[in-house]
Amino acid sequence: MLFGAATLSLLAACGDERPALAPNLTAAALPERADAVRGRQWISEYGCLACHAVPSVRGPASSVGPPLGNVGRQAYLTGLLPNTPQNLVRWLMDPPAINARTAMPNVGLSQAEAEDIAAFLLSLPESPEPS
């Protein structure tokens, strides 16, 4: 009985305590040069719509990847990386470096392009669909 209580205490101390996030991340932490308008254009030019639904961007109806309407409300990116504007940029630049099992390819985004896309995604209003 004492061993069981000690084990439970140890497990509780090692628990996965994730920090609370703000209700919605914003692009404010990105460099001033990050441009949401350009980010919207990059989403079309780099073919993101082939796999993702993105509010306010017209493209094929695809559900291969998750919809991107609520990226700023997710606790984690790809289930592994705490969701911050800087981590979103890292993820966009090289998804396989973050999660080797991802289907999302490295499309060769520059730092500036990834910042623009992050600024756009974080500027989207709350979406009814989960992402």
Count H helices, E strands: the chain?
5, 2
Angle among Cα 87, 88, 91 to the nearest 5 degrees reads 85
On whether the CB atoms of residues 96 and 81 are closer than 8 A, the answer is: no
Tell me the pTM: 0.77
pLDDT in tens, 43-73: 999 999 999 998 888 888 778 888 888 888 8
On whether the CB atoms of residues 83 and 20 are closer than 8 A, the answer is: no
Class of CATH domain 32-123: mainly beta
For the chain, which residues make up each domain, given as ranges? 32-123
Distance CA 87, CA 12 (A): 28
Provide the pairing of β-strand 76-77 with 81-82: antiparallel
pLDDT in tens, 65-105: 888 888 888 899 988 899 999 999 999 999 999 999 999 99
